Structure 1
């Protein structure tokens, strides 16, 4: 009897199980290829928490849509996001252009792809789930995040499965991934079938990207103690509170676009507490192309201003779709003096009061105060949380 009990215990141990967010048991030994490829970085018996992360009470926006974040789906999305096999020559992944160390952006003006460089600077991905704007890319050409996720893969310059210019079509990628053992296991784990489709890839990648959030900044600590954003934050310095007020308050202009009173009106396009872009925004007066030739009036989206900089004040890469602005002082200076360029028929009306490019007449203390406030939007966890890290690294 004792021998039989020991045998049963050993059998049970060999089929040790964990549970996912639906309390379904996961036999670990059913996924040996995942264990071999990722070790402890991906533990299907103990999934990371993507689905039930804490969100502050004052954050009310959500564009998660019908593709609800699940721990299973985001885990697959994490692997896809970091896997260079998603590119035609196995050298570029989504993470090549969207790096965790830089709040999922790139320090390069234009990121490297398999056949050249990107046409615009790589946008930060932090807190995209909490934005009013549900379209993606600087020019909003992707209707939603799910659609966006495979567009870089299909781009000849970026990841090389365009089906043109000598590239394989996207079906070539499907065939490649279908022959990789850990994808067979992961797709079965998530979807109940080894079959890989573009839609399944899109859903998983979008779940992972939507899970990337940042709410541990000095701003968040202050906002949690305040009734609203307009109140002084008790954890802020006088300069930071001054910068917050200038950011939030609308300016008062005279008949020719000169600011005579009020704040800077930044919140007109980047509303607190999410600091994302107003979906009705037009371009901000920067209408060049990244290669310096011609004009481009269509760039009307922007990432959240959260984690624009790290806690130490270093930028997470250059700003704007051209990467032309490389300091916070220069960014504020751009909005301080808006010159309406010939041919710019899509300038945001908030930047041309009474038909004139706005002239904010900023003082040095005002600029310093707004910079101090922008630095309070920097979090820390987004850079180090393992659930958003590269599972292929030892």
Structure 2
């Protein structure tokens, strides 16, 4: 059972449990994914009624950010509602006597992918239910480069990054999370300066963070190699915002951790991701997943090769000026529990003028909780570097 979802931080006085329940359950009828029931066999059933006590939860935590984060971390392990209840819930985490609170929306990944969950949480909880979620994917023409890239990625999924053996150690099945915030304007300024996208800057800083993390490992250790990040790419188009299921494909992006020069690291990433965006690889992969014979083969292969995935890196942009219960969302974290054998998930979530880098990792990875801090340091390094 793999939950995905969002933590959202808001200032001010939290809503009452009744207000949260009335808002969410008053809108859930518009969201078909939240009525889906797991059933024996390959089909999904449909719930005829929802139990508020199972889907809308509140919890008071001790004062301070550390207690709030600890309570949030517990939700990574807590089972979702199941059986006769659809597998999703909302948690209101309150700090009595403190200004501010955290809302958490969790949903089984089979019901919603990350972008679908972003649309859902926007529709369920914002003051204006018409607030748009992430922008819809705009298809591009398919090219031979796209077909070649897809074949290369499928072949690459059969191999593990041997230079990063630490990412292939047996999992402890104990998850932890950490994060750091930066003004979103810093990433946008970097993107304009380097001629790339915010996602390029996020991934470049992540590559530098992994390089710094590698340097902290006890000696002797092998030279720092590149890390392959599995990057989800949404296929949701306009009108499909709230459709049930997973409408995404994956690309494999090499993070150039081996590069000693920050400028060369950014140059490589900007080049690789531009080719990925413009080649039509996403469109070809989407067509294969919609073709039943190929989809069955690919899904079986992915199930077999999941332990060969070293890292998952996501990026989602929520509305910047979105409010819930009269307060503007100040920051948010997209998260997912880790598939079996995967030890690290990193996300960048942008909203409220804040970009938050979040890491969910298995405790079998020593020091992985420092990656957001190292990512923050890497951003400063890129800001101090002259573009090529």
**Where on the TM-score scale, by shorter chain, does this alignment land: which range?**
under 0.3
Q: Under a length normalisation based on structure 2, what TM-score does the superposition of the two structures give?
A: 0.21
Bigger Rg, structure 1 or 2: 1
Which has the bigger relative contact order, CA under 8 A and spacing at least 6? 2
